Amino acid sequence: MTNSQSTSLILSARGLRKLWPVPSGDIEVLRGVDIDLKLGESVAIVGPSGSGKSTLLTLLATLDRPTSGSLVIDGMQTTSLTDKELARWRGKSLGIIFQQFHLMPSLTALENVSLPLEIAGTSDASSLAKKALCDVGMDHRLNHLPGALSGGECQRVAIARALVTKPSLLLADEPSGSLDPQTGDQVTNLLFEMVQTLKMSMILVTHNPEIARRCQRILRMNHGLLETIS
């Protein structure tokens, strides 16, 4: 790869493998995944249930480490960082959205969105978090706990939390997968609008072909390997 090619890449993974130990021996869930993502590009990952999509997204989000392989994001060789360095780097560099929202149940919407800013030491965390919640149409529920919000509202808060630090890369695993179709459409529209407005790069796992087609490229996970399908 030339220097000019490598500088335009926000993410470059090579030979990512993941083995899970099970009583009958190890199972190889990812069998050597290569993926490049250009700055500002959006890519969808589709594929059958159990093919390894979430396992891959978790590795790309640096929430788990590969058994082997390399992962460079925004110029950082993530596999060479310690867990502590990685957590600090991740908080500033990545936005992550999960199907089940993963909000902190004991924190209000505002506190959930403020948290990544506070961890990063940002002084005006609360006012930036309020603005982020306003951007996702949730400024009327600032002091609600997640348990008192609907699924769609929880996902809006989770989107605000993922984007409030203005990360260059967003990783989303079936962000509308647990919402009813209408709410899912609204949340998906919001996500794509925000990604476009903030000029972010995105890797999005989805089972929905219509959502996948809204990304610039579609990759298919097949038995632990990625194939290009468009």
Applying CB under 6 A, the residues found at the interface with ligand ATP are: 20, 22, 29, 47, 49-55
Angle 181-197/151-163 helices, nearest 10 degrees?
10
Contact 161, 112 (CB under 8 A): yes
- Helices 125-135 and 151-163 cross at an angle (nearest 10°) of 130
Place of tokens 């290569």: 34
Q: Which of 12, 42, 51, 54 binds Mg ion (CB under 5 A)?
A: 54
29 vs 219 by CB, closer to ligand ATP:
29
Q: Which stretch binds Mg ion (CB under 5 A): 29-37, 46-54, 127-135, 212-220?
A: 46-54
55 belongs to the binding site for Mg ion (CB under 5 A): no
| C-beta closer to Mg ion: residue 46 or 160 | 46
Closest distance of CB 50 from Mg ion, Å:
8
Q: Which of ligand ATP, Mg ion, none is residue 29 near (CB under 5 to 8 Å by kind)?
A: ligand ATP
Q: Which does 55 bind (CB under 5 to 8 A by kind): ligand ATP, Mg ion, none?
A: ligand ATP
- Cα 222 to Cα 219: distance, rounded to the nearest angstrom: 10
Q: Which is nearer to ligand ATP, 49 or 123 (CB)?
A: 49
Q: Which does 51 bind (CB under 5 to 8 A by kind): ligand ATP, Mg ion, none?
A: ligand ATP
Q: Which is nearer to ligand ATP, 20 or 85 (CB)?
A: 20
- For residue 62, the partner it binds in ligand ATP, Mg ion, none, with Cβ less than 5 to 8 A by kind, is none
Residue 52: CB minimum distance to Mg ion, A: 9
Tokens of 19: 């083995």
Query: What residue type is 105 in one-letter code?
Result: P
Minimum distance from residue 184 beta carbon to ligand ATP (Å)? 16
By beta-carbon proximity to ligand ATP, the closer residue of 46 and 129 is 46
Q: What is the CA radius of gyration of the chain?
A: 17
Smaller CB distance to ligand ATP: residue 55 or 168?
A: 55
Which residues contact Mg ion (rule: CB under 5 A)? 54
